[in-house]
Amino acid sequence: MRDPRDLYAFESADVIASVPRRSLVLVHGLPGLVDAGSACRIASTYLRDSLRHVRLVTFDADELLDYRGSRPQAVFDGGAYTSVDMPDMALYLMYDDADRPFLYLDGLEPDLQWRRLAQALIDLVEFFEVEQVIGMSAIPMAVPHTRAIELIAHANPAADVPPVGESPGEIIVPASFGALLEHELGRAGHPARGFAAQIPHYLTRTEFPAGALALLRRVSDASGLELPLVDLGDLAEAAGAALESTLADNGDVQSIVTALEEQRDAQQAEGQGVFPTTMDLPTGDEIADHFERFLAGEGGEEHGHPSSDEGPGSPSGDGPQTGGPGDARPRGETD
């Protein structure tokens, strides 16, 4: 194996020197061959758009990705290619809503050199004195979208996390890079855990923000990070309403959903399931925020002022905003 350290390069020495070395968490969710509902991609984009961040490390994507298998997007104006969007992989320092720092690995799942990249990340975990690593993934399952999303929790022995429910025994599944990384981190004595959201199989190729929301809720709960999830909840609700409207005109799909509901309800009643799972439920802050906005909307309508229909991120809305306390800290990247 070639030197793993040749796979990455540090950014500014001053920035690297300023990274806190206390109770750091590293979060990752590299979308790859299987990213049902684009849940990991949505979660990554949402965190970048919502939280202050600065790049710490850039990886050599040319060494890790097969561009023929997943071709970059090019913009053609009819006479020339005006841009080509080449994929990137980087490690960022982010700050949550409580100004707590954490690391986030962003990019696509590598096609090549898995073991070398895993070792490179182990080197970085040790360099930044990371306390725990948390991964995200999303898999298609025969479950209905009308029930709370269930997540499969997993961890390496070093994480010392008690199992959820009764193990189904050993099964063989296609590996992801996240699975290899968790395993290799355990062999090196570093705690790593992860969550796999079970996405309705009929929504695998559809953007399903509820999957991203479920994953980030569990990451927040497991790490203690205060992630801004209310706006993502709004996006998930809007997508859910659009989905219901679409399915209302499709009797075939409705019958499938009904059958899946009956199957899932029967399994839960009997305590059955392929994997032990945890249920995705909104946090107390999310419930309180939605209730306050509901009351505000009711009050506005009573006085003849209908509530705004503008969604998150609109000019007058409450969408994700970069920045926050501590202006001396690095701000979100704009490139």
Query: How far apart are the C-alpha atoms of 271 and 165, rounded to whole Å?
Result: 10
pLDDT digits (tens, 9 = 90+) for 258-274: 888 888 788 777 766 55
Contact 99, 63 (CB under 8 A): no
**Residue 22: per-residue pLDDT:** 82
Please state, in angstroms and as integers, the Cα–Cα distance from residue 314 to each residue in 96, 231, 235, 319, 320, following that order.
Answer: 22, 11, 12, 7, 10
For the chain, the structural domain boundaries read: 4-73+82-300
Contact 308, 317 (CB under 8 A): yes
**Residue 280: per-residue pLDDT:** 55
**Residue 249: per-residue pLDDT:** 78
**Residue 106: per-residue pLDDT:** 97
Return the SS3 of 109: coil
pLDDT digits (tens, 9 = 90+) for 184-218: 999 999 999 999 999 998 889 999 999 999 999 99
Query: How far apart are the C-alpha atoms of 305 and 83, rounded to whole Å?
Result: 45
**Residue 316: per-residue pLDDT:** 39
**Residue 273: per-residue pLDDT:** 58
C-alpha 74: how far from its chain's center?
26
Residues of the chain with pLDDT under 70: 164-168, 271-335
**Residue 285: per-residue pLDDT:** 56
Q: What is the crossing angle of helices 114-127 and 177-187, to 10°?
A: 50
**Residue 310: per-residue pLDDT:** 41
Q: Give 4-73+82-300's CATH code, choosing from 3.40.50.970, 3.40.50.10900, 3.30.70.3040, 3.40.50.2300.
A: 3.40.50.10900
Query: How far apart are the C-alpha atoms of 57 and 6, rounded to whole Å?
Result: 12
Q: What is the crossing angle of helices 230-247 and 209-223, to 10°?
A: 150
Write down the pTM of the prediction. Answer: 0.79
Phi and psi for 26 in degrees, rounded to 5?
A: -110, 125
Which of 131, 156, 163 has the alpha carbon at shortest distance from 278? 163
Contact 197, 215 (CB under 8 A): yes
**Residue 332: per-residue pLDDT:** 41
Query: How far apart are the C-alpha atoms of 18 and 128, rounded to whole Å?
Result: 11
